[in-house]
Structure 1
Amino acid sequence: MALEDAFAGFTRRDWERDSPDGIVRLAIVGIGGFARNRALPAVAEGQYCTTTTLVTGSPDRARSLAETYDVEHVVGYDRFREGEHADAYDAAYVATPNATHGEYAIAAAEHGKHVICEKPLETTVERARDVVDACEDADVILMTAYRLQTEPAVRRSRELVRDGVIGTVVQVHGAFSHPLLDHAGPDTWRLDPELAGGGALVDLGVYPLNTIRYLLGCDPTGVYASTHSSGGPFATVDEHVAFQLEFPTDATASCTASFDAHASSQLELVGTDGKVAISSPFGGVVPQEMVVESGDVRSEYTGPPTDEVREQFDYFGYCVLTGTEPGPDGEDGVADLEAIEAAYESAETARRVSIGERDRDFDGEPSV
């Protein structure tokens, strides 16, 4: 790929190879802030999914939201698990606190429904594996909601890496900070290790972790990590984390994440012949600003606005309608939890921890 051709068709959906008929009816399980403000509007604006059911702990308070999005059914969590109105949806989007992902994903699978589940897939490798097994047993599609894998700047960066535009990747730098208490109270579930499964690493560090794995097309083989908490509301979780990943290609990735720092995110890949930098990739709205250097040539590019959440749901719907496996599947979610568990072990023991090698296909798009 020539550098001048790198941004041609920037927003193209290279995964969209057919024009399937039909639409996937979704049950949105958990209607917290992200589901209300990002997921529901994205589904409504998308092409391959529609919301037909809301699942919440307060059905009466969700009636107005259901009216806004013309959603026919609103049910409680217990009724969802029992299968009430299961004939009204084809798939479930699980957006509840992390430690409850498994129970709702497995319940959906047992009712024969496809699943798209927020990250992390669960709070431990063992529990995430239970979700994968349940979906395999039910012969339903499971997608871990890594929306950046459908985001144009990330997909174009992956092509640049694959095509050798920056040579062999040697270093990767990823960072994501978000001042949690500016947007949530100290009683938020994200500060409860039993519900969240961890702190800044699980909630924020998973973004550079997964995105780097996707861009390099391989899993890390080792990690060294350190965590710090200042006490107070952060007393039981990691407030700040720094971790270094080693990859079988001999590339290393240095990453940081923080619950208590100015909002910021960055991602840079440095190769033997150049580099790729994406501006603010992890903050929820990617500005599509990229800088690519290849040899003596430097190019700056800003792509058109794209809603990565809409892209994610259209991708999931496309996979369901065409019967193909999504790139960010359940195994992708398990792999991140393996790295996260190793990072926490490293932080506790102050030593490098190996991560078991995995045989995975990093195709990153539906197979044909």
Structure 2
Amino acid sequence: MALELESIFDEFTRRDWEREPVEGTVRLAIVGVGGFARNRAIPAIAESEYCEPTLLVTGSPDQRRLLAQTFDIGRVITYDAFLAGAHTEAYDAVYVATPNALHGRYAAAAADLGTGKHVICEKPLETTPDRVQTIIDACDDAGVTLMTAYRLQIEPAVRRTRELVSAGVIGDIVQVHAGFSHPLVAATGPDTWRFDPELAGGGALVDLGIYPLNTTRFVLGRDPTGVYATTASSTDSVSIGVDEHVTFQLEFPTDATASCTASFGAHANSWLELTGSDGLLSVRSPFGGVVPQEMVVESGEVRVEHTGPPVDEVREEFDYFGYCVLTGATPEPDGADGLIDTRVIEAAYESASTGCRVDLE
């Protein structure tokens, strides 16, 4: 078993999705230049092997010159200009990083522009399953690639976790425990769009809980059959319009269960632990934006602690997207993947409202 573990940890950061040489880059328009796009996504795209940023879309006139100078991107246009089809010759695909309720507007528009533009869109894809389906249909009709930006599916520690689970190293999965908390209320104040239910589509469940939800589905290779959830909001002087804390339990057809939490008002923390019939596997801080690559695997009487080299998971995500576009491959985190999560989130909110378990078809 130790040798089996060592073979999985060999070349820890290997890109198992990169199956053939490919040349060229995908020119990206970045639609929405909020904090994550400015601080993480655009630098990652600029360093990417298979993508390059060539156009920015922003609603702030004051930002245009500064953004163009900061990122050395020659074209910066307004949202209206983007929707009108300005400079479509300058990009091949779009990265949508607007507030959640605006994803559909720009993703569908991108697919409809000219010969169609490929789309990578932040999660959740939209705020309701019907609106997600609209994005999927637009991209299907245009024959373009659609990827939900689940960067953890491309992250090495998570991919190695899936391999270990698939290989049966810890036996049949019995329980998953995962959580993600970040003190967003204290960090941003109550005026951020993330606390607006119309723009965000929800609170801690949508913004943070989606990480343990999607990652659990990914590593198990299964979709849940039922969900039970509770939500809570702070009772202090800061009031937000969405759930601040959430706990949800997922049931799977294998009889495995997952207990997950998320919070806008707790100390920053994240964890992923899987307990199987023959062992356990844990990943340190998987959801916080920079994964330390530290894993612990116990299989029978064998215990292995492994630390892999640092990896920019955001760059990996865009390299993966560019590679899929250039090779015509379908991304694993496609539109259907994003649709399933939106359905689970909708069911979780129904459960929290009714106090009852909700079946998932």
**TM above 0.5:** yes
| In the alignment, structure 1 residue 82 sits paired with structure 2 residue 87 | no
| In the alignment, structure 1 residue 191 sits paired with structure 2 residue 215 | no
Runs of 4+ in 1 over 3 A off after TM superposition: 231-235
Q: Which residue of structure 2 aligns with residue 305 of structure 1?
A: 310
Q: Which residue of structure 2 aligns with residue 37 of structure 1?
A: 39
Output the TM-score relative to the length of structure 2. 0.97
| In the alignment, structure 1 residue 120 sits paired with structure 2 residue 124 | yes
Output the TM-score relative to the length of structure 1. 0.95
Q: 1:4: Cα distance to partner?
A: 2.6
Q: 1:60: Cα distance to partner?
A: 4.3
**Aligned partner of residue 224 in structure 2, secondary structure:** coil
| In the alignment, structure 1 residue 172 sits paired with structure 2 residue 183 | no
Q: Which residue of structure 1 aligns with residue 95 of structure 2?
A: 93
CA gap 1:166/1:325 in 2 versus in 1, 3 angstroms: same
Q: 1:235: Cα distance to partner?
A: 4.0
Task: Give the counterpart of 1:203 among 200, 207, 229.
Answer: 207
Q: Which runs of 5+ in 2 are unaligned?
A: none
Whole-angstrom CA distance in 2 between matches of 1:60 and 1:22:
33
Q: Which residue of structure 2 aligns with residue 362 of structure 1?
A: none
| In the alignment, structure 1 residue 354 sits paired with structure 2 residue 356 | no
Question: 8 Å contact 2:190–2:240 — kept in the other structure?
Answer: no
| In the alignment, structure 1 residue 148 sits paired with structure 2 residue 152 | yes
* Worse-superposed segment, 73-82 or 175-184: 175-184
Q: Which residue of structure 2 aligns with residue 284 of structure 1?
A: 289
Q: 1:69: Cα distance to partner?
A: 2.0
C-alpha deviations, 1:187-230, integer Å up to 9, x for none?
A: 00000000000000000000000000000001100000000012
Task: Give the counterpart of 2:345 among 340, 349, 355.
Answer: 340
Question: 8 Å contact 1:3–1:294 — kept in the other structure?
Answer: no
Matched pairs, number: 356
Whole-angstrom CA distance in 2 between matches of 1:209 and 1:45:
29
Amino acid aligned to 1:75: I
C-alpha deviations, 1:235-274, integer Å up to 9, x for none?
A: 4210100000000111000000000000000000110011
Question: 8 Å contact 1:191–1:234 — kept in the other structure?
Answer: no
Q: Which residue of structure 2 aligns with residue 264 of structure 1?
A: 269
**Aligned partner of residue 56 in structure 2, secondary structure:** strand
Q: Which residue of structure 1 aligns with residue 332 of structure 2?
A: 327
Whole-angstrom CA distance in 1 between matches of 2:67 and 2:262:
33
Question: 8 Å contact 2:186–2:265 — kept in the other structure?
Answer: no
Q: 1:19: Cα distance to partner?
A: 1.6
**Aligned partner of residue 67 in structure 1, secondary structure:** helix
Amino acid aligned to 1:281: P
Q: 1:233: Cα distance to partner?
A: 4.2
C-alpha deviations, 1:64-108, integer Å up to 9, x for none?
A: 222232212100001101110011000000000000000000010
Structural mapping, 1:97-108, within 5 Å:
97-108=99-110
C-alpha deviations, 1:254-307, integer Å up to 9, x for none?
A: 000000000000000110011110000000000000000111000101100000
**Aligned partner of residue 165 in structure 2, secondary structure:** helix
Whole-angstrom CA distance in 2 between matches of 1:278 and 1:235:
31
Whole-angstrom CA distance in 1 between matches of 2:205 and 2:65:
35
Q: Which residue of structure 1 aligns with residue 323 of structure 2?
A: 318
Whole-angstrom CA distance in 2 between matches of 1:180 and 1:223:
25
Amino acid aligned to 1:164: G
Q: 1:45: Cα distance to partner?
A: 1.1
Amino acid aligned to 1:335: I
| In the alignment, structure 1 residue 215 sits paired with structure 2 residue 219 | yes
Q: 1:18: Cα distance to partner?
A: 1.3
Q: 1:184: Cα distance to partner?
A: 1.2
**Aligned partner of residue 83 in structure 1, secondary structure:** coil
**Aligned partner of residue 188 in structure 2, secondary structure:** coil
Whole-angstrom CA distance in 1 between matches of 2:314 and 2:325:
17
